[in-house]
């Protein structure tokens, strides 16, 4: 079930979620700024909703309905790729697609979660151009702190929307650490958030199973010190990707209130991998933890083939790049075609007109 009933107030100062009691949800009104930004960037939002199996009627009159937190992150992941900015235009300092992959690629020498958090904090500070992230070691805990009071927000002004975005970053951080080590799953001992009090649309906070304090000066996630300092075995570099983090979010939310297969079908995961530049079927299958044969069977059961999905994603990327004013030769090179003529032929097969004609019409 993709939609929940409206959520009650978030609860007391020590907010706890009982798994399964309520759907972990997001009011669709929070998604509309992302949709508007996507449309302004030339994204075919209706087609994207169809690909993600989200009802298109939400785009007309669904502002007060709720979608699963998992669906919110699925949409965020795809839009960050299509828009070409991992901040989704919410920061005046753009983060190109691949920024999170860049951060993850620098974790290979870390010995424990404390070191991982330190590298993550430093990397994002460099990318965002400020000291917004910090890691502190205390007697009984290791804290990851985010101070957004001077963050260069763009396109977002309402305090409620800023609270929501930062709270979603905390979820992203937790799932990133779970990709690194399963021990991070049960390591959270408490959270501090800047939202002044419980209440309003807080269904997304149902993700957390730890005490939560409101009205803090900065955001803080506290980890059990022993778990944070315990030795870990780093995953292979191929497993450390932004796609893996988003998939971890979906799986974790799914484990709390729904069956995974109903939330993130294989075709969606393949589209996400393709859009991030993983274009060979064996590589995509490996990233999903599947054999090529198993991936083929799952796609066939959903009515897709890998080749059709690859052509779909390449076509989306081609049209976006052409609409941005890129030359045909540059687009052909960016999408991995051997030469511009091969790209011209493929584009005409997909759309019935040449890239030049498409650009002139646009």
Going by C-alpha positions, the residue among 321, 300, 319 that lies closest to residue 311 is 319
Give pLDDT, residue 161. 87
Q: Which two tokens stand for residue 293?
A: 């044969």
Give pLDDT, residue 219. 97
Please calculate the CA angle 280-282-284 and round it to the nearest 5 degrees. 70
Whole-prediction pTM: 0.72
Distance between CA atoms of residues 47 and 273, nearest Å: 18
* Average pLDDT score over residue span 183-193: 94
Q: Which two tokens stand for residue 203?
A: 């269904």
Q: Is 53 left (phi over 0), alpha (psi -120 to 50) or beta?
A: left
Per residue in 40-50, pLDDT (tens digit) is 888 888 888 88
Domains contained in the chain, CATH given: 25-229 (no CATH), 265-362 (1.10.10.60)
Give pLDDT, residue 18. 36
Give pLDDT, residue 324. 80
Beta-sheet pairing, 188-192 with 133-137? unpaired
Q: Which residues contact 32 (CB under 8 A, 6 or more apart)?
A: 63
Q: What is the side-by-side order of every strand in the sheet holding 188-192?
A: 133-137, 141-146, 219-224, 188-192, 212-213
Residue 22 has pLDDT above 50, yes or no: no
Per residue in 307-316, pLDDT (tens digit) is 888 888 888 8
Which whole-number Å values give the CA distances from 345 to 1, 133, 323, 339, in the listed order?
A: 42, 48, 18, 10
Residue 200 has pLDDT above 80, yes or no: no
Per residue in 114-142, pLDDT (tens digit) is 999 999 999 999 999 999 999 999 999 99
Residue 4 has pLDDT above 70, yes or no: no
């Amino acid at each position: 079930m993709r939609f929940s009933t409206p959520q009650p107030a978030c609860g007391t100062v020590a907010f706890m979620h009982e798994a399964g009691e309520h759907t972990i949800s997001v009011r669709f009104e929070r998604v509309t700024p992302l949709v508007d930004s996507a449309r302004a960037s030339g994204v075919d939002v209706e087609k994207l909703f169809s690909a993600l199996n989200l009802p298109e009627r939400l785009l007309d009159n669904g502002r007060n309905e709720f979608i699963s937190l998992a669906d919110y992150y699925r949409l965020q992941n795809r839009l960050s790729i299509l828009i070409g900015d991992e901040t989704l235009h919410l920061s005046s300092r753009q983060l190109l697609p691949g920024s999170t992959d860049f951060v993850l690629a620098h974790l290979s020498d870390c010995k424990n979660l404390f070191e991982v958090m330190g590298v993550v904090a430093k990397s994002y500070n460099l990318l965002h151009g400020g000291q917004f992230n910090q890691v502190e070691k205390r007697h009984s805990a290791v804290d990851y702190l985010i101070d957004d009071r001077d963050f260069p927000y763009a396109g977002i002004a309402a305090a409620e929307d800023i609270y929501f975005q930062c709270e979603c970053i905390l979820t992203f951080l937790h799932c990133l650490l779970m990709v690194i080590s399963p021990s991070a799953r049960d390591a959270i001992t408490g959270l501090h958030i800047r939202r002044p009090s419980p209440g309003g649309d807080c269904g997304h906070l149902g993700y957390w199973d730890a005490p939560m304090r409101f009205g803090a000066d900065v955001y803080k996630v506290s980890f059990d010190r022993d778990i944070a300092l315990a030795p870990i075995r780093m995953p292979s570099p191929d497993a450390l990707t932004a796609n893996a983090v988003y998939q971890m979010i979906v799986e974790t939310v799914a484990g709390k209130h729904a069956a995974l297969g109903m939330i993130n079908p294989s075709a969606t995961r393949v589209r996400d991998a393709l859009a991030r530049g993983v274009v060979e079927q064996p590589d995509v299958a490996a990233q999903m933890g599947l054999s090529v044969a198993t991936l083929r069977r799952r796609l066939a059961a959903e009515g897709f083939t890998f080749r059709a999905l690859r052509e779909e994603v390449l076509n989306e990327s081609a049209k976006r790049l052409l609409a941005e004013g890129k030359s045909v030769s540059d687009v052909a090179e960016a999408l991995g075609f051997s030469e511009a003529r091969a790209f011209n032929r493929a584009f005409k097969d997909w759309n019935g007109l040449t890239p030049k004609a498409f650009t002139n019409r646009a």
